[in-house]
Structure 1
Amino acid sequence: MYFHLQQLINPIEQDEPDPAAANALQEGLGGQFGEMRTMMQYLFQSINFRGPSGKPYKDLIQGIGTEEISHVELIGTTISRLLDGSPRYQGKPTDPVDEPGKRGATPLSIAVDHSNIHHYLVGAQGAMPVDAAGNPWLGSYVYNSGNLVLDLLYNLMLESTGRLQKCRLYEMTANKTARSTISYLIVRDQAHENAYAKALETLGVNWRTSLPIPKTNAEQFPEVKRLLDLGLQSKQYSFDLGDQSEAGKIFQGMSPSNDGTELDASQQAPQGAPLDIAPERLEEFAPGADKELRALIEATAAMEMAQIDMDFGPMKSS
């Protein structure tokens, strides 16, 4: 079972909207090496895992796959905030639709000359399951061979390529909203590289001679360096409310990154950050929920969280 804590896994900095950066970030979400790929690949590998004696490996893959769900949420929310830049609808709240083109205004003119028009035409200024070229995400990206060593090698390659691409994304934009998320994902990709590299080492695979982790010198990025100084690249979370994960049997010892840190799998989940719902976009005819429905949603969420605390105890975090 999966539970959702209504927080982002990492804070998103505030900055000006940037549709071009949003479109570039779509590669990190729905591209071949993006967060949707890692999420689906690891979850399918863990679902299809065979061999009770290999439970620590299953738990490691499943824990990372669960974290990737939060990465999809984080990068998708970031894209949405970067797109939230059209002039605000100026009609009366009581009016269902404003006068089209009032006083010569074209509220969505930004859509025709900035990056992906589908962000406005189809997605109402929100993230979509596509890459930076607008190609839909494909289930055929998922690699699940059933062979543990092959899967771990492929996962290591996937994380390495994902980190490489995110380093390129970082250098494409100075937008603080984009960089805060990109930097976090760079460091967590490194943590996942460490996890799969360590797992391969426990199986006797000398991965360094065949698949070296690419040198990106990402520590030169100030936002990345701050997270590395906190040791975030050497932590792995279980996201296991029942405390039954055995991933710590693998994710331990000195880091394969050779940065002098020691791997730590003792934490259930990171602390998280507030998750604020974006404002309504009436020029997109996307008014959101009315007050009565919002109250019902909030009351239901509070009841669900209270029941989880009763059944499993409060979520433990760093």
Structure 2
Amino acid sequence: MYFHVQNLIHDIAQDEPDPAAANALQEGLGGQFGEMRTMMQYLFQSMNFRGPAAKPYRDLIQGIGTEEISHVELIGTTISRLLDGSPRYNGKPTDPLDTPGAGGATPLNIALDTSNIHHYLVGAQGALPVDAVGNPWSGSYVYNSGNLVLDLLYNLMLESTGRLQKCRIYEMTDNKTARSTLSYLIVRDQAHENAYAKALETLGVDWNKLLPIPKTNAEKFPEVKKLVDLGLQSKQYTFDLTGLSEAGKIFRGMSPSKDGTTLDASEQAPEGVPIVIAEERFEEFAPGLDPELLKLIQATADIELNEIDNMFGPVADTKPSAAEKPADTKKPAAPKKAAASKK
């Protein structure tokens, strides 16, 4: 089972909209080496895994695959924010075709020459499951051979190529929104490279000669260096509520990146940041809930509550009154929280 915490895995910096950068990021989302690919590949490998004695390897692949779900959410949200507000006009509820403030331009004229027109025609200024030239994401990208060594080698190559592409996209834009997400994904790709490299080492594979990790020198990017200095490239999360993951049997010891850090798989999940839902886009005819629909929703809720009251009686107020409260209101100890990454 999978559980969703309503946090983004990493904060997204605020900057001006940049639809061209949004389209470049589509490669990191729906391209052949993008986050949708890694998510699906690792989840299929873990679902199809065979051999109970090799459970630590399955748990490692599954934990990374689960993290990739949050990466899809992060990069998709970033693309949406880079599009949201372009071209600095979001209409009025009373007149979605009102003349925009920036030079009297047509509200969506930017879609014709600056970006992927499908972001405006199909996606209402949101991310799409496509690459940077508009090709739909394909399930044929997924590699699942059933052979552990082959799968680990392929996964290492996939993470290496994905990190290389993100470094290239970083060099294409100076937009803070885009770079904050790219930097985080570059560092986490390195962590996943370390995981698959370490797994291969435990199987006696001399991967360093066979398939060296590309030296991207990504630490020259200030946002990346900040995260590397925190050791984020040497952490791997279990995303396991039961505490049964055995991935830590593999992800330990000195890092294959040879940066002097020690691998750490002791944390369940990073802390994350609150999710903020974007405002309506009237020029895209995407207004959200209109007043009539809100009234209908409230009326439906009232009917359902009345049915419950008629069947079971009024729901009692469980909060004690002041008179009912005991004199000693000593607060009980809070339950222990799962380990979270420190910022």
TM-score, structure 1 length as denominator?
Answer: 0.90
Counterpart in the other structure of 1:317: 340
Which residue identity is paired with 1:17?
Answer: P
Indicate the residue corresponding to 2:58 in structure 1.
Answer: 58
CA distance in 1, matches of 2:90, 2:168: 35
Is the counterpart of residue 254 in structure 1 residue 277 in structure 2?
no
Deviation, 1:21, is 0.3
Matching residue of 1:211: 211
The 5-angstrom pairing of residues 26-105 of structure 1 reads: 26-84=26-84, 85-91=86-92, 93=93, 95=94, 98-99=96-97, 105=105
Instruction: Report the residue type matching 2:194 in the other structure.
Output: N
Q: Residue 121 of structure 1 aligns with which residue?
A: 121
CA distance in structure 1 between the partners assigned to 2:100 and 2:186 by the alignment: 44
Overall identity of the aligned pairs, in %: 78
* Residue identity opposite 2:242 in structure 1: G
Deviations 1:265-296 (A, max 9, x none): 00000010121011110100011235749x98
**Residues 249, 287 of structure 1: alpha-carbon distance in 2 compared, 3 angstrom cutoff:** same
Distance 1:99 1:214 in 2: 50
**Counterpart of 2:170 in structure 1: which amino acid?**
Y
Instruction: State the SS of the aligned residue for 1:32.
Output: coil
Matched, 1:131 2:154: no
SS at match of 1:80: helix
Shift of residue 315, structure 1, vs aligned partner: 4.7
For the 8 Å contact 2:91–2:98, the answer to whether it is kept is no
Counterpart of 1:301? none
Alpha-carbon deviation of 1:102?
Answer: 8.5
Kindly provide the amino acid, as one letter, of the partner of residue 169 in structure 2: L
Residues matched between the structures, number: 299
For 1:276, the equivalent position in structure 2 comes to 276
Alignment of 1:81-230 (within 5 A): 81-84=81-84, 85-91=86-92, 93=93, 95=94, 98-99=96-97, 105-230=105-230
> Larger Rg: 1 or 2?
2
Residue by residue over 1:147-166, the C-alpha shift from the partner in whole angstroms, topping out at 9 and shown as x without a partner, is: 00000000000000000000
Larger deviation: 98-107 or 127-136?
98-107
Deviations 1:47-105 (A, max 9, x none): 000010010000000000000000000000000000012343443x3x4x545779965
Q: C-alpha distance in 1, partners of 2:98/2:235?
A: 53
For each residue in 1:151-201, what CA deviation from the matched residue of structure 2 results, as whole angstroms up to 9, or x when unmatched? 000000000000000010110000000000000000000000000000000
Q: Distance in 2 between matches of 1:55 and 1:154?
A: 19
C-alpha RMSD over aligned residues = 1.9
Q: In the superposition, relative to structure 1, how do residues 153 and 83 fare at CA in structure 2: closer, same or farther (>3 Å)?
A: same
Instruction: Please tell me whether residue 15 in structure 1 is matched to residue 12 in structure 2.
Output: no
Q: Secondary structure at the match of 2:268?
A: coil
Structure 1: how far apart are the matches of 2:14 and 2:116? 22
CA distance in 2, matches of 1:203, 1:247: 14
Unaligned segments of structure 2, at least 5 residues: 299-334
SS of match in other structure, 1:41: helix
Higher helix fraction: Structure 1 or Structure 2?
Answer: 1
Q: Distance in 1 between matches of 2:227 and 2:123?
A: 32
Q: CA deviation at 1:106?
A: 1.4
5+ residue gaps, structure 1, are 297-311
TM-score, scaled to structure 2: 0.84
